[in-house]
Structure 1
């Protein structure tokens, strides 16, 4: 075979050409590169793969999102294999629900999408005084997150569809009081117990490890003594909030702004008559309410001065009926939108047509209009103008800032002078330190700081959006790679851990032996005084003791059970009897019933989701990581 290849090289070249070129024509070079870059599949849903790179990107975004919501979150919790696996499970769930929404044609309408976007606080901050969205700022905000408006709106539409998939199950969850009573009685049950504790502290003197023992343990647990890499950095921050503080306000601009927005800032006083319609009421009931409201409207229009008396006798709004329907003064945004639109659309003394809201049918009379003076409004106007100008200046400066840090390359002096920023310094690790906040808590920025090029060349990183309205760039000035502390340096700590581990093992072994012996001869048991425990009141006992006691066979009491307390040793528990519960206050019983109903509904939704997973052949192709021990998780 090899001799044939050697003698017929030209033929083999042609043959390889014929085999390889068509594949490039069909799939393209980009396809090969893309396949390599995306990595192997880690999950499948409905025939579509989730790649390793998809997973990595999703976890990075999830960490960024959580850090923004909870700046004090310990980064180590999000850097674990368990946290990464949770992200993959979340991705699979999203894909399953998306597939179910698509198959069920659960598509959000344009109106539903508009309502969702309107309620978004970040997007709301980009609206001007006239209520219009600043599209340029909107595009820039999304662009810094790698999205176009179309991509973002499609993701919101998709999320609405996902919620609709489980909404039907969640809305129809039902648990009877009898059903809840059985489960709640079992969960809150009380039991009388006695405890025999085997504390590792009592065994410490019996442990005497040799140098070889210490070395072996150190080698097995060397990762626990690894010092992480760290870097001394310089960084600058372009912050919209900081821009607001120093934003000058022109007096004439402020007065002009007040004059243009005075109608929007005024308060109005109105009275109303409500004919209530329960949510989800049948059409017949709704028509009856509308007819009643129409009759009252005709009476109010014939005699406007009788409006207060009509409201007192007929309005079904308990908060205002006694006051003749009076709602006092209110500004825009205080009432539901159809109601507000009507009040702010007509003149003083005018009575509206029927106004339908989610509460029913309203008849509204505008009784007064109160404007607020310029001086009264000055603090609010200044704050609003500063916010708008800061948003505008930030949007204008963002690209310039990004270009400036790139062009400066090896320092921030020129950037700081140009944008009037302070160059700050810090020492950071690859993951945010516990308690870190702001820039130093941004995984996205730290990722760019510890990128190979940044470490090697110590250049300014790209400008990174660490939060809405905040860009930052950093550069390494000093770098220390990760290293493992030598045994000589940590020998005392290693010895303490070896002794503690072996003492806990001895306590557990002794406890298990005593458990077997006391089961055979209950009279020989050395136990504490009797006490009553429950999940509500554990009587200062460890959770493992309480759970072991409550899981003991109720039909075989008294009995002995063991409770493994991990590093705290072992406990032998004698469960004597079930203690009757006292009468539960009505309010507490009602709360528990509601809690059980929510848990039952959640269980039904989870069961339905499991069915969807089977229907769409959802598979996770990587093994689930083992739960870390308490010791390793706290290092």
Structure 2
């Protein structure tokens, strides 16, 4: 058979071609054939945002936050809420980009140039002659992982997108009268008395029968659903795990110490004095030439009598901050002064007097008066930090290699995590009650939607095979396997009886409390003098609840006050019912003009933000935004 196939290879290939191509035409080519199988998590204007897009964006956002705040708890960045916030930003960026394209909001070269010049880090790269230091500019862009062209394209894009919302914010308007009316309503206070009808006080009145429990159980099946859940085990590969397998030799440590001693010791500082002849960078050329000539005259005097530097600085320097001290600027390190001044100072020897140095402030004559070299710490003093730093660097370089080993091991020996754990010295973690969505307070892999999705794949559930290596964070991979699985089910009444009874009693108690409160409300409206059980009068407002439930305060502030006293009933949901008596409206205390002006500005900003949000919601409808991932529940205390 095989010999026949080899003899007729061309015929076989032709037959396969005829069979396969029509199947693609009829069924369609699945994106997974080409490695594009990342699930779609959102869609904007017909364009997909995939799980891979989301993961990359969150990784970049996490790296940016870590760079700005190195001490931040990594768990905060990996929470479901933080990841969902990244997805929302990704969707928002896509919406604004689509809007900018549809509105033809382009950024001209002149506008881009102005924007670049307004960025301090770029403005500092200008040479004295006004040209840009292109190498430094390229290094600045490279530090952000971009080429200069890429940086400019990103800024051009940001400008275009900002115009979408900028025009809405700029058009927001609120006059003094409407601002005052709104602020007075927001800060209004009302004197109230409250009668509470707590559900717990009515629990003893509830009669419970087996028929009641049966009926309640059948009427509320969703309350007794137990979601599918799994018992799992998993391993995590991160930089700490890689570091644990790295040992650093004494020779490597001493070499690293010698190579980095200057950095580890700290920055050299220099003390200088200067004489400044001021000339603004945008001053007429003749004025700058005159200032330069005066500086040259002073320099000539100093060449003849260097000891007169302090005397001439007090007399002729136009720097008010240092002239009285003989031009002394104290000690400073690199980065503290403008570049031409700094370059000159750090190229001088102690006691030297410079030539005339031009900066944007004018013309300087500089004398280097002292050099402070930091104490060089010994090898033994730095040994612990050197070892940690060197291990960290080696772990970062080695992570890709170990990650490949990890991914191969969990795939090739897919029926157990023990081999990869033993090979890479990883701990096997276990967890029970794991569901498809992250539980409140979940951490690490169990808070990662991609990892949970991999665990609940059919192959993992049915065959108890390892998941693939899933990237759950920057330099962090996880793999897991399901050890036991329980499908979703409705808990039988016999097992749920206590819960059914508690919920039934709670519902009926709240219902009795509400009926009692509503009856008292109607009676007291008809005969206010008959009201009893009211609390003492308290004055409440939106920012001063006076230990009252928010629902009570909101009900009191929404009650009509055309006729006082006013009565209102407030359903406290499962907690019971409240009857609120509004005695009077308490005028807001007058505020000074500065406070009033600040409040009006805050109100205008809030109004502008509300208009921007409304406009954004309109754009979401226009561009048919779909977010296919459910919003995670808020964390406790959030």
| Pairwise same-fold verdict (TM > 0.5) | yes
Structure 1 residues 329 and 627: alpha-carbon distance in aligned structure 2, compared to 1, 3 A threshold: closer
Structure 1 residues 387 and 555: alpha-carbon distance in aligned structure 2, compared to 1, 3 A threshold: same
Q: 2:418 aligns with which of 413, 417, 433?
A: 413
Q: 1:462 Cα shift?
A: 1.2
Q: Distance in 2 between matches of 1:232 and 1:308?
A: 82
After superposition, give the CA deviation of every residue in 1:389-409 in whole Å (9 maximum; x if it has no partner): 111111222222211221122
* Contact preservation (8 Å) 2:165, 2:612: yes
After superposition, give the CA deviation of every residue in 1:355-374 in whole Å (9 maximum; x if it has no partner): 56xxx889787653524525
Question: Which residue does 1:561 correspond to in 2?
Answer: 568
Structure 1 residues 310 and 117: alpha-carbon distance in aligned structure 2, compared to 1, 3 A threshold: closer
The answer to whether structure 1 residue 489 and structure 2 residue 495 are counterparts is yes
Q: 1:541 Cα shift?
A: 0.8
Question: Which residue does 1:373 correspond to in 2?
Answer: 376
Structure 1 residues 38 and 568: alpha-carbon distance in aligned structure 2, compared to 1, 3 A threshold: same
Question: Which residue does 2:125 correspond to in 1?
Answer: none
Q: 2:550 aligns with which of 526, 543, 550?
A: 543
Structure 1 residues 244 and 23: alpha-carbon distance in aligned structure 2, compared to 1, 3 A threshold: closer
* Corresponding residue SS for 1:426: strand
Structure 1 residues 370 and 541: alpha-carbon distance in aligned structure 2, compared to 1, 3 A threshold: same
Q: 1:456 Cα shift?
A: 1.5
* Contact preservation (8 Å) 1:269, 1:369: yes
The answer to whether structure 1 residue 470 and structure 2 residue 476 are counterparts is yes
Please give the TM-score of this superposition, normalised by the length of structure 1: 0.68
* Contact preservation (8 Å) 1:454, 1:460: yes
Q: 1:21 Cα shift?
A: 7.9
Greater mean alpha carbon deviation, residues 575-584 or residues 534-543:
575-584
Q: 1:472 Cα shift?
A: 1.8
* Corresponding residue SS for 2:282: helix
Question: Which residue does 2:282 correspond to in 1?
Answer: 287
Question: Which residue does 2:183 correspond to in 1?
Answer: 184
Q: 1:301 Cα shift?
A: 5.9
Q: Distance in 1 between matches of 2:206 and 2:453?
A: 45
The answer to whether structure 1 residue 71 and structure 2 residue 68 are counterparts is no
* Corresponding residue SS for 1:269: strand
After superposition, give the CA deviation of every residue in 1:329-362 in whole Å (9 maximum; x if it has no partner): 54x6x75996997489644567694556xxx889
Superposition map of 1:425-436 within 5 A: 425-430=430-435, 431-436=437-442
Q: 1:49 Cα shift?
A: 1.9
The answer to whether structure 1 residue 510 and structure 2 residue 516 are counterparts is yes
Superposition map of 1:77-92 within 5 A: none
The answer to whether structure 1 residue 228 and structure 2 residue 227 are counterparts is yes
* Contact preservation (8 Å) 1:72, 1:435: no
Q: Distance in 2 between matches of 1:416 and 1:578?
A: 69
Superposition map of 1:41-440 within 5 A: 48-49=45-46, 54=49, 71=75, 93-102=92-101, 103-106=104-107, 162-163=161-162, 165-166=164-165, 181-244=180-243, 247-262=246-261, 264=263, 265-269=266-270, 287-288=282-283, 295=291, 298=295, 305-306=309-310, 309=313, 314-315=318-319, 326=329, 328-330=331-333, 342=343, 346-348=347-349, 353-354=357-358, 368-375=371-378, 378=383, 380-430=385-435, 431-440=437-446
Q: Distance in 2 between matches of 1:565 and 1:432?
A: 30
Q: Distance in 1 between matches of 2:459 and 2:556?
A: 58
Structure 1 residues 38 and 471: alpha-carbon distance in aligned structure 2, compared to 1, 3 A threshold: closer
Q: 1:573 Cα shift?
A: 1.6
Q: Distance in 2 between matches of 1:62 and 1:392?
A: 23
Q: 1:98 Cα shift?
A: 0.8
RMSD: 5.7
Which structure 2 residue ranges, 5 or more long, are not aligned? 1-20, 63-71, 123-137
Q: Distance in 2 between matches of 1:340 and 1:462?
A: 57
Q: Distance in 2 between matches of 1:233 and 1:172?
A: 55
The answer to whether structure 1 residue 500 and structure 2 residue 509 are counterparts is no
Q: 1:542 Cα shift?
A: 0.8
* Contact preservation (8 Å) 2:275, 2:327: no
Structure 1 residues 487 and 202: alpha-carbon distance in aligned structure 2, compared to 1, 3 A threshold: same
* Contact preservation (8 Å) 1:234, 1:426: yes
Question: Which residue does 1:606 correspond to in 2?
Answer: 613
* Contact preservation (8 Å) 1:207, 1:499: yes
Q: Distance in 2 between matches of 1:589 and 1:274?
A: 48
Q: Distance in 1 between matches of 2:387 and 2:314?
A: 43
Structure 1 residues 263 and 94: alpha-carbon distance in aligned structure 2, compared to 1, 3 A threshold: same
Q: 1:468 Cα shift?
A: 0.9
* Corresponding residue SS for 1:71: helix
Question: Which residue does 1:619 correspond to in 2?
Answer: 624
Bigger Rg, which one: 2
Structure 1 residues 492 and 241: alpha-carbon distance in aligned structure 2, compared to 1, 3 A threshold: same
Q: Distance in 1 between matches of 2:398 and 2:629?
A: 48
Structure 1 residues 328 and 620: alpha-carbon distance in aligned structure 2, compared to 1, 3 A threshold: same
Structure 1 residues 174 and 256: alpha-carbon distance in aligned structure 2, compared to 1, 3 A threshold: farther
After superposition, give the CA deviation of every residue in 1:576-611 in whole Å (9 maximum; x if it has no partner): 222234466899778756644542342243355356
The answer to whether structure 1 residue 577 and structure 2 residue 584 are counterparts is yes
